[in-house]
Structure 1
Amino acid sequence: MGSCFIKAVPHPLPAQKEGADRLKLFQDKFSIYKKAGEPLYKTPKSVQECIELLKIAPDGIFEVAGNRYSKSYLFSDVNYNTTSEREQVGIFESYCRFLNAMDVEFKVTINNKNRNMKALREKVLFQKKGDGNDRERDCYNQIMEKKIVEGKQGIEQERYLTVSIIRKNYEEAKAAFASLEAVLQKGFGELGSSLAALNGVERLRVLHDFYRMGEEEYFSFDFEEAVRIGRDYKDDICNSMLKFYPTYMQDEKRFAKALFIKKYPSSLSDRFLTELATVPAHTIISIDVAPIPKDVTTSTLQKKYMGIESDIIRQQRVRNKNNDFSSDISYSKRTEKQQIEEIMDDVRENDQRLFYVAVTIIIKADTKEELEAIEETLVTIGKRNSCQIEAHYLKQREALNTALPIGVRQVETMRTLMTQSLAVLMPFNVQELYLPGKGGTYYGVNQVSRNILFGNRKRLVNGNGFIFGVPGSGKSFFAKMEMGNVFLNTDDDIIVIDPQHEYFGIAERFGGQVVVLSTYTGNHINPMALPEDVSDIQGIIAEKGEFMLGICEQCMGEALNSRQKSIIDRCVRLLYQEVKEECMRNRGRQEGERTHTLWKQKTLHDYYGILVAQPEMEAKELALSLELFIGGSLNIFAHETNVDIDSRFLVYGIRDMGKELSAISMLVMMENIGSRIMENAKRGRATWLFIDEFHVLLDKEYSAKYLFSLWKKVRKLGGLCSGITQNVLDMLQNYTATTMLANSEFVALLRQAPTDLEKLSEVIGISPEQLKFVRGAQSGTGILKHGNMVVPMDITVDKDSPIYKLFSTNPFEGKEAAHEEGH
């Protein structure tokens, strides 16, 4: 279909002029650049003829008038209103550079469209599986649906950039757009925004969703089929009735009105456009921009300046002739000269350009009364900012065509603005995190926009992350919400290292396994066990060696010297010598000749026996330090595993391990978990590991090193690690932890102590202005970093929700929820 166009028959008519240029200084000089386009049909005989399109192509290039082509791009929001003044200046300057780089007509559109609730439910809500956990899925769905309704009342906001160019044919237009897109990508990249071209079907969908608001789910269009059967594409997007009145319009179900900004103040807030765009109503706000070439601007200004100078000289001569030597030049001429000089200085010294600009607003409502109420709200916002907003009189149809991201402009309500004045109409507000679909996770709502936050850590380059928060900040609740998402909405495994026994309730509710490790339970885990697949036995032995270095360091209570390290490594190699030899023999054999010996799993007891047999004095010291954990009262890791550790939701409870066993148990957990993650990776299953009291593992060199190794391994094997801690300062003082944090793309930052915030913000890349969402934050609110996105989040849940009762850190609420009937 490459260059195929679907055509509509054009019927060009003379353009209807509207209004006069309000900038008297250049009334006749630049008027060619603001000339409005001509409607295709002066008197449309059908709704289809109201849609200003001649031809459309699959790649999204539309011919909207004779030799005028347009293309639309969807661009993402960036954090502007939530950043510091210094960062806002940076964004503002980048936007100015983008505007100066544009030498073709374009329009920026903010479309508060009707949300397709059916598609949203399909993408966001959890699907039932009949596995006994559908009740919890319903609870999550109720939470999300409520947040959606409370937020923007069924409104979804999108931003478009529509560019219009004049070329002889489609092929030339296509080449021109390809060249232009490099400039667009560079400009929006500097702003921190992503830009994606809309194809033909996507552009038609935007129009369909406006004309047929409420019927978004029924849109369907196929280019090949339309060409084959000769169907008019306009039939697929238009509604059945569209009637225009002097100050409003009406379709078969709703009322609409086109407004415009008639009068601007001498200065305007950069939040003005955001104020208009965040009104909870179905609106389209379009900023049409027609750049005036810089050379034309310079020459025109020079001519105008010389003309004013000549007028002043002529005026002075007349006064001198009348013997009036004391009078100054007239006020009007002084003012005119001053204005010209200021503009010339801006153009020459401040890299400013001139643009013709028009702001058109379309509002849509179910009733005329609702329409008028929305209009009154917008007009009030305008008055508050010294702007005059009025309805387009007798130009409703032309204004509608202008506001839609089609690429035409059929009204002349334009005024000249300099680059910086145009940039004040800032189209950015706050970033949105919305990555629904398979594997997506609900993270509450954006505190600023109130839109739901849906992320997907699997899409990140490094999905490992951290959850920070002081006691009472909601960090455990946040972690449980994420665990619930993963368990209910994916097939992934979840493993939790739980030093405070906070996660037993959620594991039991979801039918998981809780393994309580202490000296009195009789539960044992064997960290020296080998996986079923030992094909990479040398790699396995190397990993077990690293593990034993960490164990021995913890037992010794001090850093190991080189002789001790050599002995520890030697004993590990001796422990697995038999297995290694058989693996090496099998490598040289054919499949049918290989032996499969079922050797007995090795334990720390076996390792201890080899260690005490070594002749060095250092070996005796190591054995003595290990004795308590091998044959003494703390020997729970010296036996073969006797608990089920294959559950999909597995929690290790280590609260009662005591100080002596705490750090060692953490290492044993990670060794066991590392093997589990490798096995899952071979089956194509992701593993989520949550480590509470994460800072405990950072006390010793080898435990921190081992943790760092596991952190990298999990990422390579498709798993995801989450460190949960309140001790931010301890982490920031540890080089390994700081490196892990700096390389992790996911961070949930809840309420923090003021002394920790500044250092933490530097490491994870959060601006001081954004920290206001963390300082003194209520429980369950804070900042969420997801890749390059930083959003203010609110993951609070109503206290009467079963999910709240299950996840609350209040043990009585959790117990009550865990034992409710009907699970």
Structure 2
Amino acid sequence: MSIFSDKFDQLKKADKAVKSPKYLQEVMGIGRIAENGIFEVGKGVYSRTYRFLDINYVTAGVEEQMRILKQYCKTINAIDVYFLITIFNRNKNMQDFREHVLFQEKGDGFNWLRGSYNQIIEKRIVDGRQGIEQEKLLTVCVERKSYEQAKAFFATFEATLKQNFGELGSCIEELNAEERLRVLFNFYRIGEEEQFSFDFRQALKKGGDPKNDISPGYMQFYPGYFETERKKCRALFIKKYPSSLSDTFLNEITSLPVHSITTICIVPVPKELANKVLQKKYLGIENDILKQQRVRNKNNDFSSDISHIKKVQKEKIVNLMDDVRENDQNLFYTGVNFLIMAEDKKELDSVTETIKNIGNGRMCQIETHYYQQREAMNTILPVGNRQISTMRTMLTRDIAALLPFNVQELNEKSGVCYGINQVSHNLCIGNRKKLANGNGMVFGVPGSGKSYFSKSEMLQVFLGTDDDIICIDPTLEYFDIAEALGNQAAIINLSTYTKNYINPLEMDVWALDLNDSQGYIRDKGEFMLGLCEQCYGDNLNSRHKSIIDRCVRKLYIDIAKAREKHIPTMSEFYELLLEQPEEEAKDIALSLELFVNGSLNIFNNHTNVNVQARFIVYGTRDLGKELGAISTLVMLENISARIAENAKKGRATWLYIDEFHTVLDREYSAKFLFSLWKKVRKQGGLCTGITQNLVDMLQNYTAMTMLGNSEFIALLKQSNVDSQELSTAAGIPEAQLKYVDNSPSGTGIIKYGNTCIPFDNRMEKEDNPLYALFNTNLHEKALQTKQE
């Protein structure tokens, strides 16, 4: 019950609705519309709507939650005009969704894989929010004499608003006329989202009414509900509030997989007026206490105690006065309203009962807007009307309990599906190309599903784009995917017995010129310095480096001069070294002899594998210690050239390196990879390191720098020590580490730029060709082979 008198209630006085509307357009409560999104909703009343992004509140720690609540209170206090916070559970535009998220068929023979992925995505939609996505809106209303004055107010107001939301960790953007009309269209014409089409300038030329484009064909209002041509709807409100309310109350209702609109209507009370009325109320209570004492004295009752009711009223008003004066608390009239939609009356009653039960569990009484369904609908929609007055007084901290934030979403329009959000159950769709840099890391203990995660991303990139994918595979776990992709893939298993050769000196010799204007010879010279130093086993001095550079330049300059071009091999470079007069040249040649004429001469041959395939897997399991270090350098050089070549064609290249820590353990390959990690963004490359030993990696300065240059991190099951280390290094909130501590295989956390979400990327095992393709469990694969 409000502590204020009826005179004070004029602030929450409702606007007058059209008594008997003749047309559906009159029901909407919209007057004139400006192209920038400012609506005139009444005489001298203008509104504008903003869309804001969600932040991680439910998954945050206690300290972070307190910070968010404090900042949210500051944001609420900064708004001194009537405003609405709307959470719209709307229908997903399935036509647009299928065009951008689901794989479209192609004539390349891999539609069976695309079909399997599409089935998984569709099932995740049904099991999760059932095709419902959430939109969060802020609508602000202001009274001004003209549109120009309202426009000037919003221009000034938005700067503070954006700053406050930025400090919350969110961002806010204004909606233009088309976007605001789309929001209303999604309610009035639910199920027809893909049919929305509006052009403001065309509407002006035709002289039509934009409301005609969003108006439904039929609406009928009854005492306790109303119906449109597609849905049965009901408007509800919170009638009674408890003394304290959980900050997750709204999330419990808005997380229901039903079409609904939840709106918090807030009318700020000017501080001077609040203080004046509170003081007046306090004096009134004191006067009542004095009268009560006089009556008692007259009846010879000289008790000094006041009645319990007056005592409670006095304490309440004193606390309010202290909060308003000293604790930076503002006074507001607030009302919480719900609009739910269902296919039929039975379903509508069922959803209503569910919401009322949630309210009862929180000591909230939720009731129906009887005989005010139309007025409630107009108040709830993000237009700016206020046609009902079911509001009560609240302080800033009370409104903060009605926090509209839940958890961040990864919801790019198109990209790779990384499963579902563990909290909201929405799909996680990300496109690493849109990040500041697309480099990434995948961490997880053995058996956590990091190989499955990486294979899933590789295959989706292959099926959905024209990008190239290259994988360095020390355990031969990725051969299955390459085999499934047939002639579009190449398996390069490097060893002394497979006869798969890569020539480290291979180059486009037809593009060479005597002045090396393209820098090809210079780049190859830098690579050969690293290769020779690795073979030499010690640091090269300046004389060694000069000799190597001289031989490399002579080797390719002679080719550039020759009429008939040929690609050199390591034997020719070895012979050039022997021709040099310096003793150091003989030392370098001797260190190379094992890899040129000796038993480890697999790189002294012309390339005989398809290094131009779209999907390449380099198998390195069977290389020994000596050959492994050299082969890593040769592979990285070959891959670097491929990335540069693709960059000229405008094609992206995805590089995956499994058992990433083994590459970093080798000084020369670590330096090469460190350089590649920094420059690859400009060439359209996206590098991904896959490993499990986080502590070892984070003790490496090179690895730490590469982690800092990675905008994408997938963190699967971790040990406690590793999780704490990564929390500091990667900027993942410590409170979210519960999603990786003893988590099931295939679940964890994704850090995507500044977005950090818990994900679940598990899939069913039975009758799933993708699971069979991705599975690395030896026992399950053996059982599957036996059954087949």
Q: TM-score, normalised by structure 1?
A: 0.90
What's the counterpart of residue 805 of structure 1?
772
1:474 corresponds, among 433, 449, 459, to 449
Secondary structure at the aligned position of 1:655 is classed as: coil
Q: Deviation of residue 687 (structure 1)?
A: 0.4
Return 5+ residue gaps in structure 1 as ranges: 1-21, 584-594
Whichever residue aligns with residue 475 of structure 1, its letter is: K
Mapping of 1:24-35 within 5 angstroms? 25-28=3-6, 30-35=8-13
Structure 2: how far apart are the matches of 1:582 and 1:609? 15
What's the counterpart of residue 416 of structure 2?
441
Residues 670-710 of structure 1 show CA distances to partners (whole Å, capped at 9, x for unaligned) of: 11000010010011111000111111111133321111101
Q: Deviation of residue 556 (structure 1)?
A: 4.8
Q: Is 1:348 the equivalent of 2:342?
A: no
Structure 1: how far apart are the matches of 2:562 and 2:557? 13
Q: Is 1:752 the equivalent of 2:718?
A: yes
2:615 corresponds, among 640, 649, 657, to 649
Secondary structure at the aligned position of 2:137 is classed as: strand
2:14 corresponds, among 28, 36, 45, to 36
What's the counterpart of residue 80 of structure 1?
57
Mapping of 1:202-241 within 5 angstroms? 202-241=179-218
Structure 2: how far apart are the matches of 1:482 and 1:520? 32
Q: Deviation of residue 214 (structure 1)?
A: 1.1
Deviates more, 1:809-818 or 1:252-261: 809-818
Residues 364-418 of structure 1 show CA distances to partners (whole Å, capped at 9, x for unaligned) of: 1111110010001000000111100000111111000011111111110111111
2:434 corresponds, among 455, 459, 462, to 459
Q: Is 1:555 the equivalent of 2:531?
A: no
What's the counterpart of residue 418 of structure 1?
395
Deviates more, 1:703-712 or 1:270-279: 703-712
2:40 corresponds, among 63, 68, 89, to 63
Q: Deviation of residue 618 (structure 1)?
A: 5.8
Q: Is 1:687 the equivalent of 2:653?
A: yes
**Are 2:36 and 2:177, in contact at CA under 8 Å, matched by a contact in 1?**
yes
1:720 corresponds, among 680, 686, 700, to 686
**Structure 1 residues 158, 565: CA separation in 2 closer, same or farther (over 3 Å shift)?**
farther
Whichever residue aligns with residue 776 of structure 1, its letter is: N
**Are 2:190 and 2:230, in contact at CA under 8 Å, matched by a contact in 1?**
no
Mapping of 1:693-772 within 5 angstroms? 693-772=659-738
Q: Is 1:367 the equivalent of 2:344?
A: yes
**Structure 1 residues 596, 812: CA separation in 2 closer, same or farther (over 3 Å shift)?**
farther
Structure 2: how far apart are the matches of 1:413 and 1:609? 93
Deviates more, 1:397-406 or 1:663-672: 663-672
What's the counterpart of residue 596 of structure 2?
630
Mapping of 1:12-31 within 5 angstroms? 22-23=1-2, 25-28=3-6, 30-31=8-9
What's the counterpart of residue 592 of structure 1?
none
What's the counterpart of residue 364 of structure 2?
387
Secondary structure at the aligned position of 1:688 is classed as: strand
Q: Deviation of residue 603 (structure 1)?
A: 3.4
**Structure 1 residues 816, 201: CA separation in 2 closer, same or farther (over 3 Å shift)?**
farther
Q: Is 1:544 the equivalent of 2:519?
A: no
**Are 2:59 and 2:736, in contact at CA under 8 Å, matched by a contact in 1?**
yes
Structure 1: how far apart are the matches of 2:683 and 2:694? 28
Whichever residue aligns with residue 555 of structure 1, its letter is: C
**Structure 1 residues 817, 188: CA separation in 2 closer, same or farther (over 3 Å shift)?**
farther
Residues 5-51 of structure 1 show CA distances to partners (whole Å, capped at 9, x for unaligned) of: xxxxxxxxxxxxxxxxx31x223464232121121x21112222211
Structure 1: how far apart are the matches of 2:508 and 2:430? 33
Structure 2: how far apart are the matches of 1:712 and 1:613? 38
What's the counterpart of residue 279 of structure 2?
302
**Are 1:572 and 1:607, in contact at CA under 8 Å, matched by a contact in 2?**
no
Q: Deviation of residue 326 (structure 1)?
A: 4.4
1:409 corresponds, among 386, 389, 393, to 386
What's the counterpart of residue 7 of structure 1?
none
What's the counterpart of residue 588 of structure 1?
none
Secondary structure at the aligned position of 2:475 is classed as: coil
Secondary structure at the aligned position of 1:158 is classed as: strand
**Structure 1 residues 59, 338: CA separation in 2 closer, same or farther (over 3 Å shift)?**
same
**Structure 1 residues 544, 412: CA separation in 2 closer, same or farther (over 3 Å shift)?**
same
Secondary structure at the aligned position of 2:622 is classed as: helix
**Structure 1 residues 598, 179: CA separation in 2 closer, same or farther (over 3 Å shift)?**
farther
Structure 2: how far apart are the matches of 1:597 and 1:402? 82
Q: Is 1:131 the equivalent of 2:111?
A: no
Deviates more, 1:333-342 or 1:189-198: 333-342
Structure 1: how far apart are the matches of 2:101 and 2:88? 22
Q: Is 1:168 the equivalent of 2:145?
A: yes
Structure 1: how far apart are the matches of 2:78 and 2:355? 31
**Structure 1 residues 93, 225: CA separation in 2 closer, same or farther (over 3 Å shift)?**
same
Q: Is 1:93 the equivalent of 2:60?
A: no
Q: Deviation of residue 812 (structure 1)?
A: 8.4
**Are 1:553 and 1:700, in contact at CA under 8 Å, matched by a contact in 2?**
no
Whichever residue aligns with residue 781 of structure 1, its letter is: T
Deviates more, 1:456-465 or 1:753-762: 753-762
Secondary structure at the aligned position of 2:261 is classed as: strand
Whichever residue aligns with residue 152 of structure 1, its letter is: R
Identity fraction in percent: 56
Q: Deviation of residue 217 (structure 1)?
A: 1.4
Whichever residue aligns with residue 768 of structure 2, its letter is: S
What's the counterpart of residue 309 of structure 2?
332
Mapping of 1:571-590 within 5 angstroms? 571-577=548-554, 579=556
Alignment: residue pair count: 782
Secondary structure at the aligned position of 2:491 is classed as: strand
**Structure 1 residues 32, 422: CA separation in 2 closer, same or farther (over 3 Å shift)?**
same
Structure 2: how far apart are the matches of 1:495 and 1:124? 24
**Are 1:802 and 1:817, in contact at CA under 8 Å, matched by a contact in 2?**
no
Structure 2: how far apart are the matches of 1:498 and 1:194? 41
**Structure 1 residues 216, 574: CA separation in 2 closer, same or farther (over 3 Å shift)?**
same
CA-atom RMSD in angstroms: 2.5
Structure 1: how far apart are the matches of 2:655 and 2:750? 19
**Are 1:575 and 1:602, in contact at CA under 8 Å, matched by a contact in 2?**
no
Q: Deviation of residue 505 (structure 1)?
A: 1.3
Q: TM-score, normalised by structure 2?
A: 0.94
**Structure 1 residues 817, 293: CA separation in 2 closer, same or farther (over 3 Å shift)?**
farther
What's the counterpart of residue 22 of structure 2?
45
Secondary structure at the aligned position of 2:348 is classed as: helix
What's the counterpart of residue 109 of structure 1?
86
Structure 2: how far apart are the matches of 1:127 and 1:57? 39
Structure 2: how far apart are the matches of 1:566 and 1:302? 91
Q: Deviation of residue 635 (structure 1)?
A: 1.6
Mapping of 1:173-212 within 5 angstroms? 173-212=150-189
Whichever residue aligns with residue 724 of structure 1, its letter is: I
Secondary structure at the aligned position of 2:624 is classed as: helix
Deviates more, 1:416-425 or 1:623-632: 623-632
Structure 1: how far apart are the matches of 2:129 and 2:542? 61
1:510 corresponds, among 477, 485, 488, to 485
Q: Deviation of residue 566 (structure 1)?
A: 5.2
Q: Is 1:151 the equivalent of 2:128?
A: yes
Whichever residue aligns with residue 92 of structure 1, its letter is: L
